[in-house]
Amino acid sequence: MIYLTKGDVMANNSKLFDGMVVFVDVAKLGSFTLAAESSGHSTSYISKEVNKLEARLGIRLLHRTTRSLSLTQEGELYFQLCQQLIEDAEQAENSISGNQGEPRGKLRISCPISYGLSNLSPVLSRFTEKHQKIQLELELNDRKVDLIADGFDVVIRASTQLEDSSLISRRVSQSEALVLASPRYLAKHGTPKHPYDLDRHKIISYSNLKQPNIWLFRDHHGETIQVHVESHVLTNNATLEIDLAVADQGIIRVPQFALKDEVETGKLVEIFCDWPKPPIGVYVVYPSRKHMSAKVRSFIDFVIAELGD
């Protein structure tokens, strides 16, 4: 058995946080130079601090080239954990100064464009009014972002099924995928009676799906049908899909939440009404952390309260 003296423990603890804040700044900003400008230190100081941290940990945290800088796999994990430690330290200081538990600081969120415009945007004013010390940074983007690597605090995702990961997800609501076309398109090209009939039609597909040219259906017996479609247009934006369908350019399949009043006003007509509609869940996704920051918790609670089923 090995015994550590009080002096040994204090010596180890005294170096525990060395270089951590510097490393987090570099990882967030993606540059030694920008981290130096942000902190008021020289670039050489920033580089030396990160080098010393890597030497102490015995791992490489960053891939460095003359043109780019990126996190290693170990660096991504360490960055995630260090961010939480720094936030915990900031909350500890806020507690001492009388601001215990008050949400504050920059909150970075990524959300699909159609859901952000149709659902999130109308209620955000209430969130910003309630939490005036949070600086909200909302990115509407239909690509699948990397929550950790891209530096987001919370990501909103819409999917038939989320991939397994180390992240935590909470379902906010559930929508349905509708197959639609304009009345004039159907009058000219005919209305498909079965999903297999889609191979004779102009299809507008969503490119961010894993297999945009394969549409899955479930029949009344619960059996899954794979339909291979030929994409006349392939796009990463649901709003553009809807606009093209309204302009008689083809058949689309989009989440119900992406629609405005196109069905109610007759601009678009639903196809396969008697077929089961695939459910699309809307989720808030955030890092798996033991202690969640007040700003993240406040936003998740707000979204579920305002937009939850």
264 pLDDT exceeds 90? yes
Residue 189: the pLDDT is 95
Q: Which helix (H) or strand (E) holds 271?
A: strand 269-271
* Partners of residue 144 on adjacent β-strands: none
Residue 303: the pLDDT is 92
- Please, how many CA atoms are within 13 Å of residue 118, restricted to the half-sphere of its CB? 14
| Per-residue pLDDT tens over the stretch 155-171 | 998 887 766 566 788 88
1 pLDDT exceeds 50? no
The domains of the chain are located at 6-96, 105-174+281-307, 175-278
Percent of the chain at pLDDT above 70? 88
Query: Stretch 263-285: mean pLDDT, rounded?
Result: 91
Q: 105-174+281-307: which CATH architecture?
A: 3-Layer(aba) Sandwich (3.40)
The token duo for 148 is: 């950790």
1.10.10.10, 1.10.3720.10, 3.40.50.1400, 1.20.1250.20: CATH of 6-96 = 1.10.10.10
Q: What CA–CA distance (Å, rounded) separates 163 from 159? A: 9
Which of the residue ranges 87-96, 201-210, 222-231 would you say has the lowest mean pLDDT? 87-96
Residue 269: the pLDDT is 96
Domain 105-174+281-307 and domain 175-278, same fold? Reply is yes
Q: What CA–CA distance (Å, rounded) separates 219 from 277? A: 10
Binned at pLDDT 50, 70 and 90, residue 103 comes out as: confident
268 pLDDT exceeds 90? yes
Binned at pLDDT 50, 70 and 90, residue 10 comes out as: very low
Q: Which helix (H) or strand (E) holds 29?
A: helix 20-29
Q: What CA–CA distance (Å, rounded) separates 275 from 257? A: 19
Handedness of CA 138, 143, 148, 151 (dihedral sign): negative
9 pLDDT exceeds 80? no
Q: 175-278: which CATH architecture?
A: 3-Layer(aba) Sandwich (3.40)
Q: What CA–CA distance (Å, rounded) separates 125 from 140? A: 16
Query: Stretch 234-261: mean pLDDT, rounded?
Result: 93
Q: What CA–CA distance (Å, rounded) separates 279 from 194? A: 19
12 pLDDT exceeds 60? no
Residue 41: the pLDDT is 86
Q: What is the mean pLDDT of the chain?
A: 85
